[in-house]
C-alpha cells in the first residue's frame, strides 16, 4: 500500500444555514469536512493542528486500528485531547476493510460540525463483488443546530433534562427546501444523474441524536455494503440508518424518467417519549441533461411513521454478510466469555452529581447506563494510564459474545451501540427479554452481518460476537451523543498477545498528555 497524507487544520469558519450565520469549528474551513480517500492496505497519516478555543480529538469511525490503538481518538480513552494550539499525528494502516467509513471529532459534541467521509477503495485491480457503478457519491446525513451544540449539551448536563433538538436534518451539510429560509439552489443538495446509469451512494449517518429513514421517490435502492463490509445485495425502498452507521447503496437512474427531478428524503425513527424534530428533510435527484428542475414541491417519497418499529425490523432483517470464498464470514463458532449488558435510559441514583446537585425527577438525574453503571469520563486517558474502572479486561484472542438488552425505564428506545477497534458479527436479535436457552439455538452463525454499530432494538436485544485480537483500550458506546454524554459507555482492555506482532507498540512521542 501507499502512504496517504492529509493535514487537518481545525479552525473556526463562518457558515450560513437556515438564515443563521455563525462561526463553527471546521476542518480546513470546510463544512462538512474534507473527504479522505485511501485504498485497502494503505497507510493513512493525518496531521491535526488544533486552532480552536476548545479541546479536540479525531476518531476514524470503523477503522480497525490493528495494533494502532493510539490513533483511535476517543478523548480520555486512547489519548488526552489536543488542547488549543496543540497538534497530533494520527498514523495507521487500513487492513482488511473496504467501503465507506467516516471520521469525526470525539470530544464532547464537536462532531456536530467536525466530520467527513473516509472512503476505502479495494486494492488496485480488485473489483467490487457487484457491477462497477458509473459514479460514487458520498452523502452525509447530519443535523444542523442554530445554537452552539456545545452550549446545548452543557445546558442539558447542567439541568439534568434532555437537550434541545437540532433545527434541521442535512444532506452533505445542506438542509434543503423543506425548511423556511433554505430555498435557494445552493442550500439544497442535488444528485445529478444520467438516464440509465447506476450510482453508488455512500451514505453516512452523522446526525448527533437521530436514527433516520432514507428514501428516494420512485427509485429502489440496492444495499451492497454496511460499515465497510460487503453484504448480500438486497433491494429496499426505504433504508434505516443509525448514527455512526454507513451504507453503500446502488441507485439506477430510469431510462425514461417520469419527471426531471425526484425528492430524496430523510425523517427520524424514534420511540423517544418527548420532543424530537419530526421534519422530513429533502434533497433532489435531478436528471441531466434536461433543464434544471424545480427544487420545491417535489412529492416526497412515502416514509414510515416516526415510531414504526416494524418497518425498521423488516429492513434490518435483510442484512447478511457475503460469506463468499473471497470474503468469508469468520464468525466465531464457540465463545470463551459471554457478557450480558443491560443498556438503557433510567434514573441515575446520583452517584455522579452534575455541579454537585441532582436535578432529575425524585432526586435523580436522567442518565444512560450499561448494567446500571453510568460511565464517567476519567480525567486521564485510559490507554495511557491503564485505568481499570468500568473497563473489562480481556485476554488476547478471547472469543467474546455480548448480549445487549434494552431495558429503558422511561419509555423504550433503541440504542445504536458502537464498538471501537473491531467489526463484530451480529448473530442474533429479538424483542422482549433475551432467553439464552431458546435464542441461542436460532443464531445465524453462517452469514451474519459484520458491523461496527448496531441498533439494540427498542424493548429487545441483540447478540454480537468478536475475537479480541487487537490489543488496546476500546470504548463501546451508544452513538446517540446525548446518551454517550449521559454515560451509556464502557470500555474493553484487550491485553497483548505473546507474539511480537500481537503487542501494542508504545505510544507515539507526540501524543497529547492530560
Binding site for ligand C2O (CB under 6 A): 59, 61, 74, 104, 106, 244, 418, 420, 475, 477, 479
Length of the chain: 514
- Count of beta carbons in the 10 Å neighbourhood of residue 135: 13
Of the pair 55, 178, the CB lying nearest ligand C2O is at 55
Closest approach, Cβ 506 to ligand C2O, in A, equals 23
Of the pair 104, 465, the CB lying nearest ligand C2O is at 104
- All three cell numbers of 388, joined, read 481499570
Closest approach, Cβ 226 to ligand C2O, in A, equals 15
Radius of gyration of the chain (CA): 22
- Of 300, 244, 264, give the one whose Cα is nearest residue 423: 244
- Of 141, 166, 164, give the one whose Cα is nearest residue 282: 141
Cα distance between residue 345 and residue 486, in whole Å: 9
Of the pair 190, 483, the CB lying nearest ligand C2O is at 483
Closest approach, Cβ 343 to ligand C2O, in A, equals 15
Closest approach, Cβ 72 to ligand C2O, in A, equals 9
**Cβ-proximal residues to 374 (8 Å cutoff; 6+ apart), any chain:** 348, 351, 352, 367, 368, 486, 487, 488
Cα distance between residue 435 and residue 342, in whole Å: 14
Closest approach, Cβ 58 to ligand C2O, in A, equals 11
Cα distance between residue 18 and residue 480, in whole Å: 24
Closest approach, Cβ 62 to ligand C2O, in A, equals 8
Of the pair 228, 251, the CB lying nearest ligand C2O is at 228
Of the pair 133, 243, the CB lying nearest ligand C2O is at 243
Closest approach, Cβ 489 to ligand C2O, in A, equals 8
- Of 204, 206, 200, give the one whose Cα is nearest residue 139: 204
Cα distance between residue 313 and residue 315, in whole Å: 5
3-state secondary structure of 180: coil
Closest approach, Cβ 94 to ligand C2O, in A, equals 16
Closest approach, Cβ 153 to ligand C2O, in A, equals 15
**Cβ-proximal residues to 60 (8 Å cutoff; 6+ apart), any chain:** 44, 71, 72, 73, 90, 92, 101, 103, 118
Of the pair 216, 476, the CB lying nearest ligand C2O is at 476
Of the pair 61, 425, the CB lying nearest ligand C2O is at 61
Of the pair 418, 425, the CB lying nearest ligand C2O is at 418
Q: Give the Å distances, CA to CA, from 121 to 37, 228, 230, 294, 380.
A: 7, 10, 12, 35, 36
Cα distance between residue 41 and residue 54, in whole Å: 34
Looking at beta carbons, which residue is closest to ligand C2O?
61
Our CA dihedral for 234, 239, 244, 250, rounded to 10 degrees, sits at 50
Cα distance between residue 150 and residue 163, in whole Å: 11
Output phi, psi for 475, to 5 deg. Answer: -80, 140
Q: What is the DSSP string of 354-413?
A: BTTB--SGGG-EEEEEETTBPPPPPSS-HHHHT--TTEEEE-TTEEEEEEEEE--SSS--
Cα distance between residue 85 and residue 475, in whole Å: 26
Closest approach, Cβ 167 to ligand C2O, in A, equals 22
The sign of the CA dihedral 433, 438, 444, 450 is positive
Closest approach, Cβ 385 to ligand C2O, in A, equals 19
Whether the CB-CB separation of 38 and 93 falls below 8 Å is answered with: no
Cα distance between residue 177 and residue 183, in whole Å: 5
Of the pair 61, 451, the CB lying nearest ligand C2O is at 61
Closest approach, Cβ 208 to ligand C2O, in A, equals 11
**Cβ-proximal residues to 329 (8 Å cutoff; 6+ apart), any chain:** 321, 322, 323, 425, 446, 447, 448, 450
Of the pair 27, 261, the CB lying nearest ligand C2O is at 27
Of the pair 59, 465, the CB lying nearest ligand C2O is at 59
Of the pair 59, 67, the CB lying nearest ligand C2O is at 59
Of the pair 345, 488, the CB lying nearest ligand C2O is at 488
Amino acid at each position: 500500500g501507499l502512504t496517504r497524507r492529509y493535514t487537518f487544520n481545525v479552525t473556526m469558519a463562518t457558515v450560513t444555514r437556515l438564515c443563521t450565520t455563525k462561526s463553527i469549528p471546521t476542518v480546513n474551513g470546510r463544512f462538512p469536512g474534507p473527504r479522505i480517500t485511501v485504498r485497502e492496505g494503505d497507510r493513512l497519516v493525518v496531521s491535526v493542528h488544533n486552532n480552536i478555543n476548545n479541546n479536540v480529538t479525531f476518531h476514524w469511525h470503523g477503522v480497525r486500528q490493528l495494533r494502532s490503538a493510539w490513533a483511535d481518538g476517543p478523548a480520555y480513552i486512547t489519548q488526552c485531547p489536543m488542547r488549543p494550539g496543540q497538534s497530533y499525528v494520527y498514523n495507521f494502516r487500513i487492513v482488511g476493510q473496504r467501503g465507506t467509513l467516516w471520521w469525526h471529532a470525539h470530544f464532547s459534541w464537536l462532531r456536530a460540525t467536525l466530520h467527513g467521509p473516509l472512503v476505502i477503495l479495494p486494492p488496485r485491480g480488485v473489483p467490487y463483488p457487484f457491477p462497477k457503478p458509473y459514479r460514487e457519491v458520498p452523502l452525509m446525513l447530519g443535523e444542523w443546530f442554530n445554537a452552539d451544540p456545545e452550549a446545548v449539551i452543557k445546558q442539558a448536563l447542567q439541568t439534568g433534562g434532555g437537550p434541545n433538538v437540532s433545527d434541521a436534518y442535512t444532506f452533505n451539510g445542506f438542509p434543503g427546501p423543506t425548511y423556511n429560509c433554505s430555498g435557494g439552489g445552493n442550500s439544497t443538495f442535488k444528485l445529478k444523474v444520467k438516464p440509465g446509469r447506476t450510482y453508488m451512494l455512500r451514505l453516512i449517518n452523522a446526525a448527533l441524536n437521530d436514527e433516520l429513514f432514507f428514501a428516494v421517490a420512485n427509485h429502489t435502492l440496492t444495499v451492497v455494503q454496511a460499515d465497510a463490509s460487503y453484504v448480500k445485495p438486497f433491494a429496499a425502498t426505504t433504508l434505516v440508518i443509525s448514527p455512526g452507521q454507513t451504507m453503500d447503496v446502488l441507485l439506477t437512474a430510469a431510462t425514461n424518467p417520469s419527471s426531471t427531478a425526484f425528492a430524496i428524503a430523510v425523517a427520524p425513527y424514534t420511540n423517544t417519549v418527548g420532543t424530537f424534530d419530526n421534519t422530513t428533510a429533502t434533497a433532489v435527484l435531478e436528471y441531466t441533461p434536461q433543464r434544471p428542475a424545480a427544487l420545491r414541491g417535489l412529492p416526497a417519497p412515502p416514509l414510515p411513521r416516526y415510531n414504526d418499529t416494524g418497518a425498521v425490523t423488516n429492513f434490518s432483517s435483510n442484512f447478511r454478510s457475503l460469506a463468499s470464498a473471497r470474503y468469508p464470514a469468520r464468525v466465531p463458532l464457540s465463545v470463551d466469555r459471554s457478557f450480558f449488558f443491560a443498556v438503557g435510559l433510567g434514573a441515575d441514583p446520583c452517584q455522579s452529581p452534575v455541579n454537585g446537585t441532582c436535578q432529575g425527577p425524585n432526586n435523580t438525574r436522567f442518565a444512560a447506563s450499561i448494567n446500571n453503571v453510568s460511565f464517567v469520563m476519567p480525567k486521564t486517558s485510559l490507554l495511557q494510564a491503564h485505568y481499570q474502572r468500568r473497563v473489562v479486561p480481556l485476554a488476547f484472542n478471547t472469543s467474546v459474545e455480548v448480549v445487549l438488552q434494552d431495558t429503558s425505564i422511561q419509555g423504550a428506545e433503541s440504542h445504536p451501540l458502537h464498538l471501537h477497534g473491531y467489526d463484530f458479527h451480529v448473530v442474533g436479535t429479538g424483542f422482549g427479554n433475551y432467553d439464552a436457552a431458546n435464542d441461542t439455538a436460532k443464531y445465524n452463525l453462517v452469514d451474519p452481518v459484520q458491523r461496527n454499530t448496531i441498533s439494540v432494538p427498542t424493548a429487545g436485544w441483540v447478540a454480537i460476537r468478536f475475537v479480541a485480537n487487537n490489543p488496546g483500550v476500546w470504548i463501546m458506546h451508544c452513538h446517540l451523543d446525548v446518551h454517550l454524554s449521559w454515560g451509556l459507555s464502557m470500555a474493553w482492555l484487550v491485553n497483548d498477545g505473546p507474539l511480537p506482532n500481537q503487542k501494542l507498540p508504545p505510544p507515539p512521542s507526540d501524543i497529547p498528555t492530560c
